[in-house]
Amino acid sequence: MIPVWQIHRHALVWLLTAFSSVILLHVGHLPLWVLLAAAVTIIWQVQRYRGVWYTPRRIVKYGLLALCLVGLLLEYGKPVGLEPMVALLVSAFILKLLEMEHQRDALVVVFLAFFVATLQALFNQSIVSSLSILGCLLLVIAALVGLYQGVPEGGDGASQASQVLRPLRTSVVLLIQAIPLMLLFFLIMPRLGSFWSVPIQSHSAKTGMSDDMSPGNFSRLGRSADVAFRASFEGDIPRQYQLYWRGLVLSDFDGRTWSRTDPAMYEQDNLLQWFGEKEKDWDALIERKGQPIDYSIILEPTQQPWLYSLPTPLPKSRGVGLTRDFRLLSSQPITSKTQYDVRSWLDYQIAPQGLSNRHRSIALQIPKGYNPQSLALARSWRNNISDDLLIVQQALSLYNQEFSYTLSPPLLGTHSVDEFLFETKKGFCEHFSSSFTFLMRAAGIPARVVAGYQGGERHPDNYLVVRQYDAHAWSEVWIKGRGWIRVDPTAAVAPERIEFDLESALADNEGYLEDSPLSLMQFRHINWLNKIRLRLDSLNYQWARWVLGYDNIQENLLKKWLGEYSPLRIALVFLIIGGGLLGGIALWYLRHIFRSEHDELDRVFLQLCKKLETAGIHRNPGEGPRNYAKRVAELKPEWGREVKAINAAYEHMRYGGESQERLKVLKRAIRKLK
Amino acid sequence: MIKSFGQAVQQLFLHWAYRRVPPSNSISLGNSNLFIFPSKVGFSFFLLILLCWLMATNYENNVVFAITCLLTALFLVGILHSFINMSGLSITFVHATPVFTGETLSVEVMLSQKYPRYRNGLRLSFDGSEITTASIQGKENVRVRLSVLAPKRGHYNPGRLKVESVYPLGLLRVWTKIDLNISCLVYPRPIFDLHEHLNTSGRGEGALQRDEGSEDFVGLKHYQPGDSLKRIAWKQYAREQGLYAKHYADYQDERIWLDWDALPGLDRESRLSVLTGKLLKVAVTNQYYGLRLPALEVAPDSGETHKLRLLKELALFEQPSSINGKAEKKRTNERKFKKSRTEKTVS
């Protein structure tokens, strides 16, 4: 017999399966050599079990440990961030499997597997990823069950096979029973929020907008169909040309690149108004008009703190703040899908009376020595035209006449604005907004570049999907008496871009979606594929809203269900529903306790006895049915025949085999007895 | 001090637990006699849940949160499954073959169940014995042999049988300690090497004659299948007088007494051991032997039944009868226990 502490064959099968599945889960962000090491370890375990290879000696183990550490150092340099941490854990996981010999080691492997599988959720929270984690957990649980399942000696092939599969079966049963309870916990357990900040330094390339704008930035995004965010509106979705999602305000220009004025300035408290805080004095600058619109946004991870919103927003979620230039900022970089609620007023006036000197000078700053031609052009406009709005019109009509809109604009040199305005005349939104803002500043009109997204695809389920190719840049100019107003020079060149979408604005489709060759967006002209695409997106959206963003709706939802969200009520719900669920499962397993000792035939016979007893003929202890029937016939001759017939039928069925029809006949006969 | 407190608590618990599980030949496991508590692995699992919860909360990651909930739910469902793995199982003491002191006793118990259920990883053991694992399926009965060392002669009770299981997840330990009224006969440890003290008495001729001897020829008998070929009377067969077998007989002129009084200077147990050793030696010869103990004399005889009877007498010599003894011991224990408890409350 195998000693209790040793790992038997069935357990090993499941351990190795679970191990491989957990490694495969992380395949996307593990160095190749770690995968190789995992493969070698599996082979080593199999060979060790077959008695071909030995358990590695201590010196080998320590050598491998050192090798792994060196490998990780070479791979990642500084060991900070999520990926090196996971790689380290996975290495430990692999080394532990290598030295696995006793049940105790196997337990450590199983617990590591639980943990490492869970870590995958930090990288990716999509439905597919979550389901694969669930699948992995299923196998890990099977491995755990396998460890405690005894192995019967002998047995033929079929029973052996069923023995091997038994841990998986048990695991499936356990999971199916655990999932309702899990849902209960998930819905009701209060979320506490971070205890300490955990910066995730992901090494994966950041998609999405960077915090500056130079020629080429946005045309790169135009090639990607990745989702940037989804927005669902409480009322109707505003018109397409109103959908300007402001993300960043860029005021600093060095002749080529637009950047934020001073990143540090947002740290100053008086320039940020967090959700729930008292209004800052600069809030008086804005006048919000008309009906506000409410909407919530589920943002894909950007690794950046800024958030997108329609002008002009007020945050309605924790951890979101309003900046002095009326955009939204998150307290932490967005490292995972995040949901936040916003209220926006599309009709507004910001600082119509006048700008402070400081802000005026920021909005008029232009680098010396760059773009002399454009500078001269703007000065000539200034000299001829006194009205600022007419100068704006002048610039827009210039674009409208001679310029074209393209995803692959020619490269630009030092005087990027001059070259674009007077030579190439082909560009994407960043070229237009950049040159326009420069012209305005040169003409003495305060102006700034705004970067964000424009438009979005309307989904049948009344929400909007904004993709990377919707990235856009436009300008804002300050006009006395009107305040800051939005001017989109791209609209003067390619109005289709604003009215519809990027695809209709591009004449020849060049470069469009080039970076997403397999995206379903490529095939949206095929009707049924497009329907599938929309369904999938809807599923993703619901997942993001109900699972990933559940924190945001939990409180309101629970208030609706429970009336009040108090610890006592939470505990009660746990006890009642959770206890009910567990009790239900227990009843199912212990159901035979409640089953009567007698079978149906006996019950029918006892019914007869009861009837006879009420007539005054008691069955003596130990008296068989036949004798009893005889006695009944003697004492109550009018019943004699029937009782004897019933008894005969009972005996026939008891010893000859029952059938449902006969049982029915018997029941009827007993009922008739009066 | 803490340790002694812990021991006191443990004793209190055992006292309570044993009272819940009264002795019986066959015990069916259920709510009244099963105990359940997280195992060490279970406590490590709590740590894992805590770690996942910290990760979920700190990264504000709802998928990790869902996994944390799933692990917690798994643990709760596991309680049921662990319990169900043992509940409804019946354990019956079958028998134990008598052995000599110091040998390994093999106790056989039977596992059975009324309603077919697959039960796995059942671990049975006595205090200090090896653990035997078993599983049961369907309505079959499973016999399990448990090995336990027999430390002293007499009716031996190996104590309570511990039945436990951590199946299916290993996170919870379900256990019980049942008293199956096991009583195994343990013979004294035989001593062979002590100087010969076979006390022979009553020399006589031909008083006893037995059939299957080898010394003196008695006569011919018709050959029967099974008789040794060496004994076939070939002469008669050659004369065509038929197939006969020669029969010999021993003259048992010695009756052997295994005598208590013949072993002066030894203590009780040594005397019993020496007598046992002699008995075993004599029993393989075909001699007649008897046993003389203080206040007991068993007339000489031979054969397996006789041997077992004498062994039993030796085993039980000056032993209190098993059931009474145990009850007596239990009572004194309880008295002691009560006494210590009252003392504690007084002080």
pLDDT tens digits along A20-75: 999 999 988 888 888 998 999 999 888 888 888 887 788 888 888 888 888 888 88
The DSSP bridge partners found for residue A297 are A231, A340
Q: Rounded to a whole number, what is the largest CA-CA distance in chain B?
A: 110
| Contact status of B50 with chain A (Cβ, < 8 Å) | no
Would you say residue B250 has pLDDT above 60?
no
Q: How far is CA A471 from the centre of its chain?
A: 22
Residue with tokens 């077992």: B308
CA B239 – CA A574 distance, rounded (Å): 102
A140 and A16 Cβ atoms separated by less than 8 Å: no
Q: Do B70 and A178 touch (CB under 8 A)?
A: yes
CB A14 within 8 A of CB A139: yes
Contact yes or no for A621/A627 (Cβ under 8 A): no
Helix (H/G/I), strand (E/B), else coil: B320 = coil
CB contact under 8 A, B60 and A170: no
Sheet of B26-28: strand order equals B26-28, B89-96, B104-113, B142-149
Q: Are A33 and A86 in contact (CB under 8 A)?
A: no
With a pLDDT cut of 70, the percent of chain B lying above it is 81
Which of A498, A380, A513 has the alpha carbon at shortest distance from A442? Answer: A380
Q: Nearest C-alpha of chain B: how many angstroms from A452?
A: 26
Please report residues of A whose CB lies closer than 8 A to that of B70: 134, 137, 175, 178-179, 182
Cβ of residue B42 closer than 8 Å to a chain A Cβ: no
CA-based nearest distance B62→chain A, Å:
5
- Give the C-alpha separation, A371 to A423, whole Å: 12
Q: Calculate how close chain A gets to B145, using CA atoms only, in Å.
A: 13
pLDDT at B249: 59
The predicted structure's pLDDT at residue A616: 78
Which of chain B's residues have a Cβ under 8 Å away from the Cβ of A130? 63, 66
Whole-number pLDDT of residue B251: 53
Q: Which of A429, A431, A470, A501 is flagged as catalytic?
A: A429
Strand A483-487 to A463-467 pairing = unpaired
Look up A609 and say whether it is catalytic. no
Spell out where chain B has E strands.
26-28, 35-38, 89-96, 99-100, 104-113, 119-125, 132-136, 142-149, 154-156, 161-165, 172-178, 184-187, 199-201, 208-210, 216-222, 244-252, 255-259, 288-293, 296-301
- Residue B5 CB neighbours (<10 A): 9
Cα of A273 to nearest chain B Cα, Å: 23
Q: Rounded to the nearest 10 degrees, what angle do helices B62-86 and A157-188 cross at?
A: 130
Peptide bond into A312 cis (omega under 30): yes
- DSSP assignment of A189-242 equals SPP---SS-------SPPPS--SEE-TTHHHHHTT---EEEEEEESSPPPPGGG
pLDDT in tens, B233-248: 777 778 777 777 776 6
pLDDT at residue A343 above 80? yes
How much is the pLDDT for A219? Answer: 73
Mean of the pLDDT values across residues A219-228?
A: 76
Interchain CB contact of B77 with A (< 8 Å): yes
Catalytic (active site) residue A136: no
Contacts of A529 (CB under 8 A, 6+ apart): A520, A523
Residue B9 contacts A where some CB pair is shorter than 8 Å: no
pLDDT recorded at residue A269: 58
CA distance A455 to A231: 11
Whether pLDDT at B87 is above 60: yes
Arithmetic mean of pLDDT over chain A: 82
Please write the tens of the pLDDT for every residue from A123-156.
Answer: 888 888 999 999 999 999 999 999 888 765 555 5
Q: Tell me whether strands B161-165 and B172-178 are parallel, antiparallel or unpaired.
A: antiparallel
Give residue A631's pLDDT.
Answer: 83
ipTM score: 0.73
Among candidates B51, B77, B131 on the partner chain, residue whose Cβ is nearest the Cβ of A177: B77
Residue B302 has a pLDDT of 82
How confident is residue B334, by pLDDT bands cut at 50, 70 and 90?
very low
Give tens-digit pLDDT for B177-225: 888 888 888 988 888 865 544 444 433 333 444 444 455 566 677 777 7
pLDDT at A605 over 90: no
CA-CA distance, A124 to A267, in Å (whole number)?
Answer: 30
CA atoms within 13 A on the CB side of A502: 29
Dist. CA B262–CA A142, nearest whole Å:
68
pLDDT tens, residue by residue, A525-552: 777 887 887 788 788 878 877 887 787 7
The predicted model gives B289-308 an average pLDDT of 85
Quick one: average pLDDT of A197-215? 62
Average pLDDT over residues A559-575: 81
Place A79 in a pLDDT band, splitting at 50, 70 and 90: low
What is the spatial distance between Cα A572 and Cα A586, in angstroms, rounded to a whole number?
20
What are the Cα distances from residue A272, in Å, to A58, A65, A148, A328?
Answer: 58, 49, 58, 9
pLDDT (0 to 100) of residue B69: 95
Q: Are B156 and B67 in contact (CB under 8 A)?
A: no
Q: Is the pLDDT of residue B337 over 70?
A: no
Answer yes or no: A472 catalytic. Answer: yes
Out of B58, B81, B120, name the one closest to residue A174 (CB). Answer: B81
The three-class DSSP label of residue A278 is coil
Backbone angles phi, psi at A170, to 5 degrees: -60, -45
| Partner-chain residue, chosen from B63, B74, B87, that has the shortest CB–CB distance to A125 | B63
Mean pLDDT (whole number) for B56-82: 91
Higher pLDDT, A406 or B106: B106
The model's pLDDT over A504-531, given as tens digits with 9 standing for 90+, comes to 666 555 566 666 666 666 676 777 887 8
Put simply, the answer to whether A550 touches B167 (Cβ < 8 Å) is: no
Contact state of A174 with B169 under an 8 Å Cβ cutoff: yes
A338, amino acid identity? T
Kindly report the length of chain A: 674
Look at residue B200 in the predicted model and tell me its pLDDT.
Answer: 44
Structure confidence by residue, pLDDT tens digits, A226-285: 788 989 898 888 888 889 999 888 888 888 888 887 555 555 557 788 888 888 878 888
* Cβ separation A590–B87 shorter than 8 A: yes
How far is it, in rounded angstroms, from Cα A625 to Cα A666? Answer: 15
Nearest CA in chain A to B78: A174
- Look at A118 and B74 and tell me if their CB atoms are within 8 Å: no
Rg (CA), chain B: 31
| pLDDT for the residue A203 | 44
Which among B31, B11, B12 has a CA at the least distance from the CA of B21? B31
Q: Is the per-residue pLDDT at A200 higher than 60?
A: no
- At A268 the pLDDT is 58
Contact A520, A539 (CB under 8 A): no
Give the residue from B50, B60, B125, B147 with the most A CB atoms within 10 Å of its CB, the best one to mutate: B60
Q: What confidence tens digit (pLDDT) does each residue in B286-298 have?
A: 788 888 888 888 8
**pLDDT at residue number A218:** 77
Q: Is the pLDDT of residue B88 over 60?
A: yes
Contacts of residue A115 in chain B, CB cutoff 8 Å? 48, 51-52
Copy the structure tokens of residue B130: 């090896």
Contact at CB, B74 and A178, closer than 8 angstroms:
yes
Which stretches of B39-190 are assigned E, i.e. beta strand? 89-96, 99-100, 104-113, 119-125, 132-136, 142-149, 154-156, 161-165, 172-178, 184-187
Cross-chain residue pair B63–A144, CB shorter than 8 Å: no
pTM: 0.70
User: What is the helix (H) or strand (E) element at residue A286, kind and residue range?
Assistant: strand A286-289
Q: What is the predicted pLDDT for the residue at B221?
A: 74
Among residues 150-179 of chain B, which lie with CB inside 8 Å of chain A? 166-170
**B111 interface with A at CB cutoff 8 Å:** no
Q: Which one of A341, A388, A470, A488 is the catalytic residue?
A: A488
- The conformational region for residue A276 under phi > 0 = left, psi -120 to 50 = alpha, else beta, is left
Average pLDDT rounded to a whole number, residues A408-435: 86
- Of A134, A548, A586, nearest to B80 by CB-CB distance is A586
What is the pLDDT, as a whole number, of residue A513? 64
Is residue B171 very low, low, confident or very high in pLDDT (cuts 50, 70, 90)? very high
Of B135, B104, B137, the C-alpha closest to B121 is B135
The H or E element spanning position A487 is strand A483-487
- Write down the pLDDT at residue A596: 59
φ, ψ at A666 (rounded to 5°): -60, -45
pLDDT higher than 80, residue A597: no
| For chain A, percent of residues with pLDDT exceeding 70 | 89
Decide if B114 touches A, using CB distance below 8 A.
Answer: yes
Query: Which is higher by pLDDT, B122 or B328?
Result: B122
Percent of chain A with pLDDT strictly greater than 90? 18
Per-residue model confidence (pLDDT) at position A585: 85
- 3-state DSSP call for residue A262? coil
Residue-averaged pLDDT of chain B: 79
**DSSP character string of A536-597:** HHHHHHHHIIIIITHHHHHHHHHHHHHSS--HHHHHHHIIIIIHHHHHHHHHHHTGGGTS-S
pLDDT of B325 reads: 43
